[in-house]
Each structure stands twice: as structure tokens, then as C-alpha cells.
Amino acid sequence: MSIVSNAGPLISLGRIGRLPLIPALYTAISIPPAVYQEVTCEPSMPGARELLDADWVQVVEVSNQTEVMRLRFWLDAGESEAIILAQEMKAILLMDERRGRTIAHAQGISFTGTVGILLAAKTRGKVTEVRPLLDALIANGIRLSSRLYREALILANE
């Protein structure tokens, strides 16, 4: 299964040392150039070094730049490129940003986010518990609503 990622989940998973969960769960991982630039522009940024050294991610140019520019009215460059690339590749979109997910949904693009990756990792035996990972996200400055936190624990049977 292929996935196109936006920067947010890469950074979030990088902050808690769990970026390798993505290639453990998906066979093909692509990111558009704007996402690559956003994550790797500062080598000390969470996930930057791992992404620079990763052989499991492919940077793919977006063909439809007209659609990217249309989305730029509402979203940043990385989010816009990720949505259009996921659409072009018929891939799952990895994105946490609410407005971007709303637009992706309206365009019929399947998506998941950082918490979805953690839940999938537990289901597939890549992690044993989700709660400590959710707590680590929060401790590292990632905002999770109390509702999302509770729902994730219910889905994880924790």
C-alpha cells in the first residue's frame, strides 16, 4: 500500500523516535518536494536527519501545479502538494492538519494521521502500547485533543 506524507506526521513521529513506523507499515512512501524541504531544511529538526538518510522515501514531483496553486489559497505549500500528489498517485494521504484533511475528504482522498499510524502499528504488532506514545507526543509539544486521546485509547483497547 502506498502513502503520500505531509510534513506534520513526519515531524511528530520524528520527535518521539518513531519515524521508522511508516516504512514498517507501508510499502511505498512518497513526499512532494515542498514537504521534503520543510522537514529537512534544518538538520536539527525532529525527523530531518532520518529523512535525509532514508532509503524508504521517494521525493516525487507533483504534475498538476495548477491545482497546487489553487489549494495554496487555503493551505501551505507542503499540504497543497501532498494532497495533489496523493490524488495523482491514488495513494493514502498522511496528514494531521484539519483543513487539509477536510479538503482531501472533499476530493475523495483517503487519509490517516499520526495517531492513525500509531494505532495501525499496534494492530500490526509493531508497538505494544499506544498510550505511552500519545503521552510522548504531548510531552514533545504535539497538540492532541482530549477527545482524540480518549478515542485512540478506546480503539487501542487500552
Orientation angle between helical segments 114-123 and 146-155, nearest 10 degrees? 20
| The pLDDT value given to residue 46 | 76
- Quick: pLDDT tens for 74-92: 999 999 999 999 999 999 9
Residue 139 CB-density burial (10 A; 0-12 exposed, 13-18 middle, 19+ buried) = exposed
Whether the per-residue pLDDT at 99 is higher than 80: the answer is yes
| The pLDDT value given to residue 19 | 92
| The pLDDT value given to residue 121 | 97
Whether the per-residue pLDDT at 47 is higher than 80: the answer is no
- Quick: pLDDT tens for 33-46: 999 999 988 888 87
Banded pLDDT at 4 (limits 50, 70, 90):
very high
- Quick: pLDDT tens for 105-139: 999 999 999 999 999 999 999 999 999 999 999 99
Max CA-CA distance within the chain? Answer: 45
| The pLDDT value given to residue 109 | 96
| The pLDDT value given to residue 48 | 83
* Domain 2-115 top-level CATH class: alpha beta
| The pLDDT value given to residue 50 | 84
Domain boundaries, the chain: 2-115, 118-155
Asked if residues 32 and 78 have their Cβ atoms less than 8 Å apart, the reply is yes
Tell which wins on pLDDT, 49 or 126.
126
| The pLDDT value given to residue 103 | 95
| The pLDDT value given to residue 23 | 94
